[in-house]
Amino acid sequence: MYKIVSRLRGPHVGLASESRGLVELHGASCQTSAFKCPHPDIPEMPHCDFKPVEYKDMSKEQMMAIRRKNCHPMTMKVTYYKKPVYIHQGYMQWLWDVDGKRYLDLFAGVATVSVGHCHPKVTAAAEKQLRRLWHTTNIYVYPSLHEYCEKLVSLFPDPLKVVYLTNSGSEANDLAMLMARLHTGNYDIINLRGSYHGGSPQTMALTSNSAYKYPVASGLGCTNTMCPDVFRGPWGGNHCRDSPVQTIRDCGCAKGHCMANDQYIEQLKETLVTSVPSRIAAFFGEPIQGVGGAVQYPRNYLKEAYKLVRERGGVCIADEVQTGFGRTGSHFWGFQGHDVIPDMVTMAKGIANGYPMGAVVTTPEIAASFAKGVHFNTFGGNPVACAIASSVLDTIEEDGTQQISNDVGNHLLTELAKLREKYEIIGDVRGKGLQIGVEMVKDKASRAPLPPEAMGEIFEDTKEMGVLIGKGGLYGQTFRIKPPMCITTEDADYFLAVFNKAIQNFMDRR
């Protein structure tokens, strides 16, 4: 069993005095709160010096009645748990429900809360800007927009130095599609199977997962190619990917050579000669697939894919909506781990710690092609969004967030790999930093996905013990672990103990 070795550590320790002022502003006070786990063989939940305000708003029954009657029916479909979680307040890596129960949040609102819920520094920046200027548009010149753009592009290699600010990842990807087609004069775009690039009518064609598609014509001109998934795909071995943990598949490749990579590149070549014109507009790829289940590719796949695409007149677009801002640990941007420089980078989610925002960063040459017409976004570059996003960049640097992602992520990956050896139903553990996937299977030999009902049992049990995680993959067979990047090793060990117990409970019921 995993041992808890300390009470409180991490980037937020030094924020106690600053956070206390902000907490008092909202009528709360700092004092110890603990979750007493009903399972005696699970350690006590790590300590937290924050107490949420008492919940006094509408009842659970009222909320669900409104959700059923007045909210879009999709909100009922994505409620996630049989017993919904009614969230009331958040602080750093913690969430509280309306009954006062505390949860360790390892999903971060779908990899969106980057530096921590209501991080004191980011909250202070938002408050300051709200008192000065809520909104104006970028037809005027105001400091927060220009300060942020300069700060953001300083984190990119040349020639990625031009920013377009949007309100979401779908919008950023939609814009990148348009820019690629205008710049190249070509139309067809290639993406990877299992990818998720948004839910707008245009980006829906880039999203290669039937659960997110509707039976209507949308986003024509997109062709998917085989995802180089070295666990579930037809080819793969135990030296393929850039991760502390490799697959359990055998590998007979010579040192420095990857047969699986060669085979997946051949599939891309076949797509290029059979399914698209000789000249294409773009290739879209996530450095690590997010909704697809933290799928990783062979080390050199993107480098070789980019070369093939550019030979055919296309530009290469890295979707960093989930992998950006230090989440992969080893690098600030996921594409850097593949030793490539894209022509465009799209981002959202962690860019503003949950405040609605997105961006496209590209080259001056591509930007010039786009300037042939007029593109205007009322809310893109909103003063509050820019102030928050700027504070997020400062906080990542000041709190050592990328290093935390690397260290705690590596710890989680190596310990989860031990659980993979222990349980037949854990087929694969993969990822980098705090972008982690645990793929569940019926058995390791077949690699057949664990059925949804079984996944649900483990998922619900984990929640009941106080930990929130996500699900993904084409069959919903992968647990997604993408927490706020302020978690500690102590938090990770608590999750490992809970996850181990949830799987053991499931196995005992079989």
User: Tell me: the pLDDT tens digits for 218-229?
Assistant: 778 999 999 999
pLDDT in tens, 345-362: 999 999 999 999 999 999
Domain annotation for the chain: domains and CATH numbers? 13-105+401-509 (3.90.1150.10), 120-168+348-399 (3.40.640.10), 186-342 (3.40.640.10)
Are 206 and 177 in contact by the 8 Å Cβ rule? The answer is yes
The 87-91 sheet, strands edge to edge: 87-91, 94-97, 102-105, 467-468
Cα–Cα distance between 433 and 247 in angstroms, integer? 17
Q: How far, in Å, CA of 89 to CA of 99, rounded? A: 11
Instruction: Please check whether residue 159 is in contact with residue 365, taking contact to mean a CB–CB distance below 8 angstroms.
Output: yes
Q: Which distant-in-sequence residues (6+ apart) come within 8 Å of 102 by Cβ? A: 33, 34, 35, 45, 48, 94, 95, 96, 466
Nearest in space to 144 (alpha carbons), one of 162, 128, 159, 161: 128
> How far is 28 from 92, CA to CA, in rounded Å?
15
Please give the pLDDT value at position 402. 98
- Using one digit for the tens of pLDDT, what is the confidence trace for 60-85? 899 989 988 898 877 766 677 888 99
- Give residue 240's pLDDT band: very low, low, confident or very high (50, 70, 90): very high
Angle at 425 between CA 251 and CA 495, to 5 degrees: 105
Can you tell me the mean pLDDT for 101-108? Answer: 97
pLDDT at 124: 98
Distance CA 496, CA 7 (A): 17
> pTM of this prediction?
0.91
Q: Range with the lowest mean pLDDT among 7-21, 144-158, 167-181, 441-455?
A: 7-21
Instruction: For residue range 160-204, list pLDDT tens digits in order.
Output: 999 999 999 999 999 999 999 999 999 999 999 999 999 999 999
What is the per-residue pLDDT for 464? 95
97: left (phi over 0), alpha (psi -120 to 50) or beta: beta
Average pLDDT over residues 405-420: 98
